[in-house]
Amino acid sequence: MAMRILVVGAGAVGGYFGGRLAEAGRDVTFLVHARRAEKIRSDGLRILSPHGDLTLHPKTIQAKDLTAAYDVILLSVKAYALEAAINDFAPGLGAETMILPVLNGMRHIELLTSRFGERSVIGGVCIVAAEMDKDDRIVQLADAQQLTYGERDGGTSERMNALDETMQNAGFDARLSKNITQEMWQKWVQLASIGAVSCLLRGNIGEIEAVPGGADLSLKILGECSAIATACGYAPGDDFLTRIRAAMTTPGSQLTSSMYRDLVNGNRVEVDQILGDLLTRARNLGIAAPLIDAAFVNLSIYQNRLAAK
């Protein structure tokens, strides 16, 4: 039986993966607000991508009309919008519904399991660089497009095999992981490291590397993030660290983070979820992380100024 998928939000990430799933013939419905629903009805869900542009008119629904349960809820909102989103999609949750979150950090897992229970929440990691342009089109900025999922305890299950079957051959790289929690932590280390250095120094990796001390500072921030993850029981793997060290010190690299792109565009940033939560765990374990602390304070000042406007 085909899985019914509810994608919460049709922004850069949810719109991209949900759009590809819909294009591949999966049963996808987007849970959106009224303005976004009207935009999709009038102009379609539009994706500009190195893998092929796409315009489609998928099914949409608003929270007030949500009554039936779905098999999978693909949750891709910004972390600061999670609590509102939970109330919106809760009526679409049944006894066997899997919530597949691809948010940044780990705080969302605690919020979701406290509301819906441990079994309902599986693990997820997405890798895609995408943003919304001024015309509400989803623009993919690089080739990578991967969605990874798995039981958070590392086990196997019939439901996960069914999810994997649904995700395969849907226009992106899909992978079932038996170590998804470790992969979620590693992505958090990557996001926090690149986000902290790019936002703190206001530049991409190539610009940072090009100045004296830039690459060394990048590696020190990565070291702080890695030390916190290790103390929490999720030491980053050697292959991961080798890859990220190289990515953070590549001359001429245009690499940034979504948090940096939000900052440059004058938008709200996920500072509490990506850096603040990491710092809270560090303090609880007695670990000093002065560079992450500096980035957190810097971005918190920016966030407060934004809220005051």
Residue 38's CB is within 10 A of a number of other CB atoms, namely: 12
Domain containing residue 142: CATH number: 3.40.50.720
Does the structure show a pLDDT above 70 at 71?
yes
Clarify whether residues 23 and 117 are in a common domain: yes
Active site residues: 187
- The string of pLDDT tens digits covering residues 117-142 is 999 999 999 999 899 999 999 999 88
* pLDDT score of 66 more than 70: yes
Average pLDDT, the chain: 95
The residues, any chain, with a CB within 8 Å of residue 187's CB and separated by 6 or more, are 104, 125, 127
Report CA 289 to chain centroid distance, whole Å: 23
Over the stretch 198-212, which tens digit does the pLDDT of each residue have?
999 999 999 999 999
Residues 18 and 148 both lie in one domain: yes
| pLDDT score at 38 | 93
State the pTM of this model: 0.93
Looking up residue 218, the CATH number of its domain turns out to be 1.10.1040.10
158, 38: one domain: yes
Q: Answer with the one of 146, 177, 208 that is the final residue of a domain.
A: 177
The answer on 192 and 59 residing in a single domain is no
Distance CA 188, CA 233 (A): 14
Question: CA–CA distance from 113 to each of 76, 100, 152, 262, 308 (Å)?
Answer: 16, 12, 11, 28, 33
Is 111 found in the same domain as 52? yes
Average pLDDT over residues 153-160: 93
How sure is the predictor about 116, in pLDDT bands with cuts at 50, 70 and 90? Answer: very high
* 56 in the same domain as 124: yes
Phi, psi of 142 (to 5 degrees): -150, 170
- What is the predicted pLDDT for the residue at 79? 87
Q: What pLDDT digit, counting tens, does each position of 214-266 carry?
A: 999 999 999 999 999 999 999 999 999 999 999 999 999 999 998 999 999 99
Among the candidates 177, 193, 218, a domain finishes at 177
283 & 169 share domain: no
Considering the domain architecture, whether residues 160 and 214 belong to the same structural domain is answered as no
Q: CB atoms < 10 A from the CB of 281, how many?
A: 17
Range of the domain at 56: 4-177
Q: For residues 218 and 147, what is the distance between their CA atoms, to the nearest angstrom?
A: 27
Percent of the chain with pLDDT over 70: 100
- How much is the pLDDT for 77? 92
Cα–Cα nearest to 79, from 21, 139, 9, 19? 9
Q: Of 157, 177, 197, which residue constitutes the final position of a domain?
A: 177
Domain count, the chain: 2
Nearest CA-CA partner of 124 in 101, 141, 105? 101
Q: Report the 3 state secondary structure along the chain.
A: CCCEEEEECCCHHHHHHHHHHHHCCCEEEEECCHHHHHHHHHHCEEEECCCCCEEECCEEECHHHCCCCEEEEEECCCHHHHHHHHHHHHHHEEEEEEEEECCCCCHHHHHHHHHHCCCCECEEEEEEEEEECCCCCEEEEEEEEEEEEECCCCCCCHHHHHHHHHHCCCCCEEEECCCHHHHHHHHHHHHHHHHHHHHHHCCCHHHHHCCCCHHHHHHHHHHHHHHHHHHCCCCCCHHHHHHHHHHCCCCCCCCCCHHHHHHHCCCCCCHHHHHHHHHHHHHHCCCCCHHHHHHHHHHHHHHHHHHHC
Same domain? 275 vs 296: yes
Instruction: For residue 1, name the pLDDT band (cuts at 50, 70, 90).
Output: low
Is residue 2 pLDDT above 90, yes or no? no
Dihedral sign, Cα of residue 31, residue 36, residue 42, residue 43: negative
Same domain, 153 and 62: yes
The verdict on 172 and 190 lying in the same domain is no
Answer whether residue 25 shows pLDDT above 70. Answer: yes
pLDDT reported for residue 242: 98
Q: Please tell me whether residues 193 and 149 are part of one structural domain.
A: no
Q: Which long-range contacts (CB under 8 A, 24 or more apart) does 239-243 make?
A: 240/186, 240/189, 240/190
